[in-house]
Chains A and B, each alone.
Chain A
Amino acid sequence: MQDDSNSPAMSRRALLRMVGAAAGGATMYQAMSSLGLAADSPYRGPIDLQGAPRGASVLILGAGIAGMTAAYELRNAGYRVEVLEYNARAGGRNWTLRGGDTYTELGGYSQECRFDQDLYINPGPWRIPYHHRGILAYAKHFGVPLEAFVQVNYNAYIHSRDAFGGKPQRYREIKADYHGHVAELLAKATSQNALDRAVSKEDQEKLLESLRQWGALDKSYAYAANDLSSRRRGYQKEPGGGSSARPIPSTPIGLSALLQSDMWKSIPSGDEFDMQTALFQPVGGMGRIGEAFARELGPVIHYNAKVTDIHQDDRGVTVRYEDTRTPGAVRTSRADWCVCTIPLAILAQIPMNVEPVLRAAISAVSYASAVKIGLQFKRRFWEEDEEIYGGITYTDLPIFNIAYPSSGYQSGGKGVLLGGYVFGLAGMEFTAMTPADRVRKAVEYGAQIHPQYLREFDNGIAVAWHRAPFTMGCFGMWSEEARADHYEDLCRIDNRIALAGEHASYINGWQEGAVVSALDAIGRLHRRAVAQGVA
Chain B
Amino acid sequence: MMRSGAQAARDARRKFALLLLFGSTAGVASADDASFIAPADLAKASGAEIYSHVCQGCHMPEAQGAAGAGAYPKLAANPQLASWEYVALTVVRGRGGMPAFGRRGEEPFAFLNARLDDEEIARVVNYVRSHFGNRYKKTVTASEVAKLLHPGAAAAR
Binding site for B on A (CB under 8 A): 19, 25, 27-28, 30-31, 33-35, 38, 86, 106-108, 161, 262, 265-266, 268-269, 271-272, 274-275, 306-307, 342-346, 348-350, 363, 365-369, 392, 394-401, 422-426, 428-433, 437, 441, 445, 464, 466-473, 477-481
Closest 8 CB pairs of A and B: A345-B97, A469-B68, A431-B57, A346-B70, A348-B96, A269-B23, A106-B66, A426-B27
- Let me know if B69 and A429 touch, CB within 8 A: no
- Knowing A27-B9, A106-B68, A274-B21, the reply to whether A424 touches B16 (Cβ < 8 A) is no
Contact partners of A466 in chain B: CB under 8 A:
57-58
Q: Which residues of A contact B39 (CB under 8 A)?
A: 424-425
Binary A-proximity of B142-153 (CB < 8 A = 1, otherwise 0): 000000000110
- Contact between B155 and A367 (Cβ–Cβ < 8 Å)? no
- Asked if B141 lies at the interface with its beta carbon under 8 angstroms from chain A, I say no
By beta carbon, the residue of chain A nearest B23 is A269
- B152-A365 in contact (CB<8A): no
Q: Which residues of B contact A423 (CB under 8 A)?
A: 22, 26, 112
Asked if B107 contacts A479 (CB within 8 A), the reply is yes
B151 near A467 with CB under 8 A, answer: no
The closest CB in chain A to the CB of B28 belongs to A396
Whole-angstrom distance between the Cβ of A326 and the nearest chain B Cβ: 16
Q: Tell me how far the C-beta of B38 lies from the nearest C-beta in chain A, rounded to whole angstroms.
A: 8
Total A-B Cβ pairs within 8 A:
200
Q: Are the C-beta atoms of A441 and B23 separated by less than 8 Å?
A: no
Decide if B100 touches A366 in the complex (CB within 8 Å): yes
Which residue of the partner chain, among A161, A275, A424, A426, contacts B21 with CB atoms under 8 Å? A275
What residue in chain A is nearest B96 (Cβ atoms)? A348
**B97 lies within 8 A of A480 (CB):** no
Q: Which residue of B lies closest to A365 (CB)?
A: B97
Closest to A441 in B: B35
Q: Please tell me if the beta carbons of B13 and A27 are within 8 angstroms of each other in the complex.
A: yes
Q: Are B99 and A477 in contact (CB under 8 A)?
A: yes
* A430 vs B52: C-alpha distance when bound (angstroms): 11
Query: Across the two chains, which residue of chain B brings its CB closest to A399?
Result: B27
Q: Which of A25, A275, A398, A424 has the most CB of B within 10 A?
A: A424
**Which residue in A31, A86, A348, A368 is a CB contact (below 8 Å) of B12?**
A31
A473 to B58, CA, bound (A): 10
Say yes or no: A481-B152 contact (C-beta < 8 A), given A30-B9, A345-B97: yes
Contact of A106 among B13, B72, B100 (CB under 8 A): B72
Q: When chains A and B are docked, how far (Å) is the Cα of A477 from the Cα of B61? A: 25
Q: Is the CB of A469 within 8 A of B69?
A: yes
Interface pair B58/A431, CB less than 8 Å apart = yes
Which residue from chain A places its CB closest to the CB of B12 in the assembled complex? A27
- Residues 1-45 (chain B) with a chain A CB within 8 angstroms: 5, 8-9, 12-14, 16-17, 19-30, 33, 35-37, 39, 42
Partner of B53 from A27, A365, A392, A425 at Cβ < 8 Å: A425
Which residues of B are found within 8 Å of A471, using beta-carbon distances? Answer: 69
> Which of A345, A472, A479, A481 has the most B CB atoms < 10 Å from its CB?
A479
Are B69 and A368 within 8 A (Cβ)? Answer: no
Q: Known: A266-B24, A368-B109, A425-B54. Contact between A345 and B36, CB under 8 A?
A: no
A349 and B68 alpha carbons, distance in the complex (Å):
11
Query: Could you list 28 examples of A-B contacts with CB < 8 Å?
Result: A27-B9, A27-B13, A30-B13, A31-B12, A31-B16, A34-B16, A38-B17, A106-B66, A108-B66, A262-B25, A268-B20, A272-B21, A343-B97, A369-B99, A369-B112, A398-B33, A398-B36, A400-B27, A424-B27, A425-B39, A425-B54, A428-B53, A429-B36, A432-B56, A437-B35, A472-B97, A477-B99, A481-B151
Chain B 103-155 interface residues, beta-carbon cutoff 8 Å to A: 103, 107-109, 111-114, 151-152, 154-155
Q: What is the CA–CA distance of A441 and B54 in the complex, to the nearest angstrom?
A: 17
Closest to A12 in B: B20
- Residues of the B chain whose Cβ atoms lie less than 8 Å from the Cβ of A437: 35
Closest Cβ–Cβ distance, residue B14 to chain A (whole Å): 7
Residue from B13, B53, B113 within 8 A of A34 (CB atoms)? B13
B63: min CB distance to chain A, Å: 12
Q: Which residues of A contact B25 (CB under 8 A)?
A: 262, 265, 396
Alpha-carbon separation in the docked complex, A469 to B36 (Å): 25
**B109–A269 CB distance below 8 A:** no
Residues of B within 8 A of A480 (CB): 107-108, 155
Report yes or no: B68 in contact with A472, Cβ–Cβ below 8 A.
Answer: yes
Contact A481 B27 (CB under 8 A): no
Contact B155 A426 (CB under 8 A): no
Instruction: Select which of B26, B58, B66, B69 is within 8 A of A86 by beta carbon.
Output: B69
- Say yes or no: is B76 at the interface (Cβ < 8 Å to chain A): no
The answer on a CB contact under 8 Å between A366 and B69 is no
Question: Least Cβ distance of B13 to chain A in Å?
Answer: 4
Residue contact A479 to B103, C-beta cutoff 8 Å:
yes
With A106-B60, A429-B37, A469-B69 known, 13 other A-B pairs at CB within 8 A are A30-B13, A274-B21, A275-B23, A349-B71, A369-B112, A398-B33, A423-B22, A423-B26, A425-B54, A467-B66, A468-B68, A479-B108, A480-B107
For B5, give the chain A residue with the smallest CB separation.
Answer: A27
Judging by beta carbons under 8 Å apart, are B97 and A432 in contact? Answer: no
Residue B95 at the chain A interface, CB threshold 8 Å: yes
CB-CB under 8 A from A34, the residues of chain B are: 13-14, 16-17
Contact A349 B70 (CB under 8 A): yes
Contact of A342 among B21, B69, B100, B112 (CB under 8 A): B69
The residue on B at minimum CB distance from A371 is: B57
